Amino acid sequence: MKQALKPSRPLLGWLGGLLLLTSVPGALTALDVSLPPAISQAGWVFLLALGLIGLFDAIQLLQLPSPQLQRHLPGSLALGRWSEVRIDVQHDSPRKLTLSLFDHAPHGLEVENLPQRISLLAGEQGQLGYRLRPTSRGHFRFEQCEVELPSPMGLWSARRYLPLESTTRVYPDFARLYGGQLLAVDHWLSQIGVRQRQRRGLGLEFNQLREFREGDSLRQIDWKATARQRTPIAREYQDERDQQIIFLLDCGRRMRSQDGDLTHFDHALNACLLLSYVALRQGDAVGISTFAGEQNRYLAPVKGPGQLNVLLNSVYDLNSTQRPADYSAAVRQLLARQKRRALVVIVTNLRDEDDDDLLSAVKQLGRQHRVLIASLREEVLDSLRQTSVQTYEQALSYCGTVDFLNARNSLHERLTASSVPVLDARPGELGADLVTRYLSWKKAGTL
């Protein structure tokens, strides 16, 4: 336990007054004004007495037991959302105690209503509360709490740093951003009729063997079964019922741009979680693979409602880095891990310099999987393009913005010409746009 003593204002006032009193006789002597010796000695006596009393009060404060603290902290917090934290305080002092408390929150957590004061009778237990709001995701550890105790005579105060460990996790708050859509998603999906139903015919998944019928294709004939039964036997297929979706998430420096309270990376995470929620409700499997991060992660596609919690625990502490995006390496790693055909959603921020590397990587990926590129567009680009131009500096900004957007759109057109669909969206609209595209493909049966 660390501790630091500090004199109180009354002590400093008494000390200043006595020092002034002891200096007056010396000043009067310099002016040839004589005073009785008892007056000059009285000032030093009072000063010595104050020193002894202050020393005795400080010793009593140092021997005063520290209060017992217990922090009640939620095990999980939502990014950007205020939460309540409570601290139980109990002391064993034989007298009434008034203390001030300040909780040391880790960097990345904002606090309100601190410090606070509380008065407790002997052996009494009280409770303090304050508000906490995370500004970044990840795992956070509280290590200590600071209390300020007054001395019995009020001449000193002791600042003590008491060890009080707690941990919490901060998750993306996609439910708050898309709350209305999540509440209405069941009604929405039932209205547009995208629930995948089993259809027999020429799908990709084998269902059963049966006798050959009029209208069947010759490609459906199972020649080995036909030879054994001595009658034409056909294979019957059905649409795949557990389609797979994998997010290929860029964790590089392009995702560090800030739009509003969240970075592009946080917007991308929220969008991936929203689409995962909808896809899992549709019976599809969802997974994720990251690249350009400190430690790239891979979560194999799994279906079922529990997969959303697994996905949350896999990405809650992910952060963007200063590394460039290497699309070729990311595609090679994904192809080595994912053998079954899936919808691969590449979430990134495209630039015109990505042309050769990105196009070759996506073509390689498209031979085995269906690919969708979700490219985030900065809000400031739309703002600058719509701003009226009145000065030379504004004209330069406008021309630079238009030139950048034209180059970016040219890359999108080249990708589209190569049969690679591109979803160009602002960060705040990415989640809704991804769900809309997924549902349209689901309804059309083109996944």
Summarised one tens digit per residue, pLDDT across range 148-198 is 999 888 888 999 999 999 999 999 876 665 554 555 555 555 554 444 444
* Mean pLDDT value across residues 305-316: 91
Q: 154: Cβ–Cβ under 8 A, 6 or more apart, which residues?
A: 8, 10
Please say whether the beta carbons of 249 and 154 come within 8 A.
Answer: no
CA distance 39 to 32: 16
The whole-number pLDDT of residue 65 equals 87
**Do the domain assignments include residue 3?**
no
Last residue of a domain, one of 63, 85, 103: 63
Rounded to the nearest integer, the mean pLDDT of the chain is 83
| Contact (CB, 8 A) for 293 and 326 | no
**Same domain membership, residue 294 and residue 149:** no
Note whether residue 2 is domain-resident.
no
**149: Cβ contacts below 8 Å, ≥ 6 apart:** 61, 64, 66, 67, 97, 99, 157, 158, 160
Last residue of a domain, one of 222, 238, 254: 238
138 with 159, same domain: the answer is yes
Same domain, 257 and 114: no
Measured distance between the N- and C-terminal CA atoms of the chain, rounded to whole angstroms: 61
In a domain, 263, yes or no: yes
Given a contact cutoff of 8 angstroms between Cβ atoms, the answer to whether 336 and 246 are in contact is: no
Residues 230 and 346 in one domain: no
- Peptide linkage before 115 cis (omega within 30 of 0): yes
Nearest alpha carbon to residue 421 among 352, 360, 345, 350: 345
Q: Are residues 277 and 395 in the same domain?
A: yes
Statement to judge: residues 131 and 48 lie in one domain: no
- Tell me the per-residue pLDDT of 408-446, one tens digit each, with 9 for 90 and over: 888 888 888 888 899 999 988 898 899 889 988 887 777
Write the CATH number for 179.
3.40.50.410
Is 303 domain-assigned? yes
In this structure, the answer to whether residues 277 and 337 fall within a common structural domain is yes
Range of the domain at 219: 200-238
The count of structural domains within the chain is 4
Q: Among 16-20, 35-39, 158-162, 279-283, which stretch is predicted with the lowest mean pLDDT? A: 35-39
- Which residues lie closer than 8 Å to 331 by C-beta, 6 or more apart? 248, 361, 362, 364, 365
Distance from C-alpha of 273 to C-alpha of 166, rounded to nearest angstrom: 28
pLDDT at 32 over 80: no
Same domain, 262 and 400: yes
- pLDDT for 71 equals 95
Tokens of 419: 């049969």
Is 108 inside a domain boundary?
A: yes
Q: Is the same domain home to 297 and 420?
A: yes
pLDDT higher than threshold 60 for residue 22: yes
Same domain (yes/no): 305, 339: yes
What per-residue confidence (pLDDT) applies to 95?
82
Together in a domain, 257 and 355:
yes
Q: Which of 28-42, 50-64, 124-138, 258-272 has the lowest mean pLDDT?
A: 28-42
Any domain includes 1: no
DSSP type of residue 135: S
**Distance (Å, rounded) from C-alpha 91 to C-alpha 68?**
6
Are the CB atoms for 383 and 430 separated by under 8 Å?
no
113 phi, psi to nearest 5 deg:
70, 35
The one-letter amino acid code at 4 reads: A
pLDDT, mean of residues 65-92 = 91
Q: Which residue has the higher pLDDT, 86 or 436?
A: 86
Predicted TM-score (pTM) of the model is 0.73
CB contact at 8 A, 129 and 87: yes
Judge if 317 and 287 occupy the same domain. yes
